[in-house]
Amino acid sequence: MNTSELNNRIRLQDLENIATGAGFLGCGGGGDPYIGHLIAKAAIEECGEPELISPDDFDDDELVVGCAFIGAPSVMQEKCISGEDAILAIRMVEEKLGRKVSGIISGEIGGLNGMLPIGTAARMGLPVVDADGVGRAVPGIDMTAWNSAVLKTGPIALVSEHLDSVVIDSDSPHRAEDIARNAVAAMGLSVMSALYAMPGRDMKRASIPYTMSIARGIGQAVRANHKNPVEDLLDYLRQTVHYSKCGVLASGKVTHLHREVKHAWVVGDVKVQCESGDIAEINFQNEYLKLEKGGKLLATVPDLISVIDTETGAPIAAEALRFGQRVTIIGTSSPNRLRTEQAVSNCGPKRFGIGEHYLPIESINNFTIE
């Protein structure tokens, strides 16, 4: 990697914007980005600003590793993160492979996982790759664009807040997910992980590019202090390479909420009484998976369903939903690498038992605001 080509730095003043954008791209899951913001802020103040490198500027033969929290987001809110857990996970992967990591990439840009690589990279003196493995958040490590591109999932290192650790090395991403989910439950429903270690050439062909920069842009749009943050957000999304097909799908007040922790996920559903008189219902498994309004399907995974505060535009995670909230539900297209036949098989509606076929969000919506 030619350090003269490093094209940016992640600065303290960027963190709130990236956290807001990561919250939106989390689609309700991925962990609380505010926790990630605090971790990144402390790391940058102590160790300096990490460099943000375009995926195209990363050398083909150098090693990049994914970094992600795995578990139930509601449990993560009650636990401490030292930063040592994520670093230990990466060191364990280095030891297993017998080579050093040259860059860190977000396992998924959504929520806490969009922020986690920043603090980890700052403490390790490594650059952050401006890309991620999904372009949103998903509830399984086998649901990434990396898996759809047939990259090797393992070795996967899991580290708890007590620095208990497990290394998983399986040829099957689905078995690796099952093993990891059971390990996460035994380790307290919340761990840090290093996974999908890959050479630069594979990272470039399989990752979702420029999502860290897009998260920052989303935050800038939402936090611009204009009169209509929802419109500001949509105007920005329409300019992006991945999320340009977007619009308001429903708005109103939260009137029903069911939420529980199952198998290291937060699962449930929420209903919104819309201004139009219809009821909008979202099913979630960490992330918002399916939206119906008045009994009509409006969106499913892998497309993005995000719930935001109507007044401020701030994203609302599934574990932060409350009765009486005034919310706006925004849907956007998913990145093209999540729309391949293999990717839809890995993270489409059939995988979650919420439908047989995936319909692109733009094919069933005209994106008119209520």
What local confidence, expressed as pLDDT, does residue 80 receive?
A: 66
Q: Provide the Cα torsion 107, 109, 113, 115; round to 10°.
A: 120
> Could you tell me the sign of the dihedral formed by the alpha carbons of 76, 113, 29, 263, in that order?
negative
What local confidence, expressed as pLDDT, does residue 2 receive?
A: 37
Task: Give the whole-angstrom CA distance, residue 187 versus residue 76.
Answer: 12
What local confidence, expressed as pLDDT, does residue 144 receive?
A: 96
- In this structure, what DSSP letter does residue 354 have? S
What local confidence, expressed as pLDDT, does residue 275 receive?
A: 83
pLDDT tens, residue order, the chain (370 aa): 433 333 589 999 999 999 999 999 999 999 899 999 999 999 999 999 999 999 999 999 999 999 999 987 777 777 767 779 999 999 999 999 999 999 999 999 999 999 999 999 999 999 999 999 999 999 999 999 999 998 888 899 999 999 999 999 988 888 999 999 999 989 998 899 999 999 999 999 999 999 999 999 999 999 997 789 999 999 999 999 999 999 999 999 999 999 998 877 889 999 999 988 999 999 999 999 999 999 999 999 999 999 999 999 999 999 999 999 999 999 999 999 999 999 999 999 999 999 999 999 999 997 654 4
Query: What are the backbone dihedrals phi and psi of residue 141, each rounded to the nearest 5 degrees, phi first?
Result: -75, -15
Task: Give the whole-angstrom CA distance, residue 135 versus residue 138.
Answer: 9
3-state DSSP call for residue 171? coil
Task: Give the whole-angstrom CA distance, residue 184 versus residue 161.
Answer: 11
Q: Which of 244, 254, 256, 296 minimizes the C-alpha distance to 274?
A: 254
Strands 51-53 and 128-132: parallel
Question: Hey, what domains does the chain have and what are their CATH numbers?
Answer: 3-209 (3.40.1610.10), 227-364 (2.40.390.10)
What local confidence, expressed as pLDDT, does residue 369 receive?
A: 42
pTM, full prediction:
0.94
What local confidence, expressed as pLDDT, does residue 76 receive?
A: 72
What local confidence, expressed as pLDDT, does residue 5 receive?
A: 37
What local confidence, expressed as pLDDT, does residue 367 receive?
A: 66
Strands 304-309 and 326-332: antiparallel
Task: Give the whole-angstrom CA distance, residue 155 versus residue 164.
Answer: 16
Q: Which of 302, 281, 318, 307 minimizes the C-alpha distance to 352?
A: 302
